[in-house]
Structure 1
Amino acid sequence: MNALALGASRVSYETRVYFRSPDTLFFTFLFPVVMLGIFTTAFGSAGNVGTAPDGTGGISVGAYYLPGMLAAGMLLSGLQNLAVDIATEKGDGTLKRLGGTPLSPLSYFIGKIGQVFATGILQAALLLAVAHFVFGVDLPQNAGSWMTFAWVFVFGTITCALLGIALSSVPRSGKSATAVVIPMVLLLQFISGVYLQFYMLPEWMQNLASLFPLKWMAQGMRSVFLPENFQTLEPSGSWDLPLVALNLGIWLVVGVVLSLVTFRWIRKDA
Structure 2
Amino acid sequence: MDGGAMTTLLDVRDLHVAYRGGALWRSRPVPIVHGVSFRVGRGEIVGLIGESGSGKSTIARSIVGLTPVARGEIVLDQGTAHVGRARHVQMIFQDPFASLDPRMTVGAQIAEPLAIHRLVPKALRRQRVSELLTRVGLSDAVYDRLPHAFSGGQRARIGIARALAVEPALLIADEATAALDVSVQAQILNLLMDLRDDLGLSILFITHDLAVVRVLCDRAVVLRRGRIVEQGETVALFAAPREDYTRLLLASHRTLEPQA
**TM-score bucket of the superposed structures, by smaller chain:** under 0.3
> Normalising by the residue count of structure 1, what TM-score does the alignment of the two structures yield?
0.25
**Structure richer in strand, relative to its length:** 2
